[in-house]
Amino acid sequence: MYEKYVNILKDHSIKITSQRLEILKYLDEHHTHPNVEEIYSELKKKHPSLSRTTVYNSLEILKKNRIVQSLTISGSELRYDIEEGLHHHFLCKKCGAILDISIACPNMDRTLDGGHRVEEVQGYFKGICKNCQTKEKGRRING
Amino acid sequence: MYEKYVNILKDHSIKITSQRLEILKYLDEHHTHPNVEEIYSELKKKHPSLSRTTVYNSLEILKKNRIVQSLTISGSELRYDIEEGLHHHFLCKKCGAILDISIACPNMDRTLDGGHRVEEVQGYFKGICKNCQTKEKGRRING
DNA sequence: TTCTAATTTGTTATTATTACAATTTAGTAT
DNA sequence: ATACTAAATTGTAATAATAACAAATTAGAA
Ligand SMILES: [Mn+2]
Ligand SMILES: [Mn+2]
Ligand SMILES: [Zn+2]
Ligand SMILES: [Zn+2]
């Protein structure tokens, strides 16, 4: 059940705790780029003793070990994403959804630019998602 | 002196106020991607009656008119940049500097992706800037 | 010059995140 | 299996960025 996540933590010499396993599992099963509050309140349901501080701390150590990445796309809070394959992100300004974007990008895997040492690359697109556009059209017809 | 900025506001039918002119001028003369606090405290020196709320409000209306853009690269606060020519950004994790990056990017001017309507595109690179790397080397030799 | 809607200002409220100290626990050594 | 200890978890308090709000001021039209 949790073996997969236990191994990930072991591989990085991170102490194994139920809280870390749950957070990692949550991110692995929800590719919706949740914020701290979402992760916390979801997991709190099954593990009432969980503390918000632990969510912050756990995400921090997972990030340092490059097991997860944080996205600053929303501008008001960090969003978290399990690290698997580089990809870009799209934020819908209407519904707030953050979607994975798979497009070829020559700069994605760049490790150096103009003498700067590059450790992270993020491509953010913002606008109105396909789904919200459909809703807009519908409203126009009816109103 | 302020003619350039007066015209920009006029072109967008934005009411001309000294506060807006000062903020616009500041961004035009400082391409350092300042945050609200920096803009506020700098301008406050010469215009002691300036309110922080006005800085927030002014930047908001300038942004809506696409005269400036806000960057979420830092993750903790918005950074502002006058809109001229699409370009990417690099954040130094050590000194906090945000630098313009001019690289060819096929996705910069994208307006549609997978059915989503794209209104903003931002490319963020994070790492250690050239300058901070030099300092690191120096410290190694001396200590 | 007068008028009014829009803007500015100062204050208060909200929200995300960090700091901190007491309690608990994972993993090691016995 | 037990005891130990450094590290992790918890709950609370502090900080910082931003938003909400209402009173005072002002840009620009009449
Ligand atoms: Mn993603
Ligand atoms: Mn820039
Ligand atoms: Zn949407
Ligand atoms: Zn630097």
What's the confidence (pLDDT) of residue A71?
98
Same-domain pairing of A11 and A42: yes
Same-domain pairing of A62 and A97: no
Domain CATH for A70? 1.10.10.10
Same-domain pairing of A67 and A117: no
Work out the minimum CA distance from B98 to partner chain A, whole angstroms: 12
Bridge-partner residues for B96, per DSSP?
none
Same-domain pairing of A50 and A72: yes
Same-domain pairing of A120 and A52: no
- Residue A123 contacts B where some CB pair is shorter than 8 Å: yes
Cβ–Cβ < 8 Å for B1, B17: no
- Burial label for A143, CB within 10 Å (0-12, 13-18, 19+), is exposed
Cβ–Cβ < 8 Å for A116, B90: yes
User: Which positions ≥6 away from A73 have C-beta within 8 Å?
Assistant: A79, A89, A91, A98, A122, A124, A126, B72
What's the confidence (pLDDT) of residue A1?
86
Average pLDDT by stretches of 10, chain B with 143 residues = 96 98 98 98 97 98 98 98 93 96 80 86 94 75 43
Among B34, B69, B84, where does a domain finish? B84
Q: Into how many domains does chain A fold? A: 2
- 8 Å CB contact of A90 and B113: yes
What's the confidence (pLDDT) of residue A39?
98
What's the confidence (pLDDT) of residue B6?
98
Average pLDDT of chain A is: 91
- 8 Å CB contact of B88 and A107: yes
- Please give the DSSP secondary-structure letter assigned to residue A35: B
Mean pLDDT confidence for A109-119: 78
What's the confidence (pLDDT) of residue B138?
64
Domain CATH for A123? 3.30.1490.190
Mean pLDDT confidence for A122-143: 78
Closest CB from B88, B107, B127 relative to A117:
B127
Q: In this structure, are strands A116-128 and A88-92 parallel, antiparallel, or unpaired?
A: parallel
Residue B17 structural domain:
1-84
Work out the minimum CA distance from B54 to partner chain A, whole angstroms: 20
Same-domain pairing of B6 and B52: yes
Same-domain pairing of A60 and A93: no
For residue B68, the surrounding DSSP H or E stretch is strand B68-71
Closest CB from A106, A107, A126 relative to B120:
A126
Same-domain pairing of B92 and B44: no
What's the confidence (pLDDT) of residue A139?
60
Same-domain pairing of A5 and A54: yes
What's the confidence (pLDDT) of residue A137?
63
Is the overall model pTM greater than 0.85, yes or no? yes
A56 falls in which pLDDT band (50, 70, 90)? very high
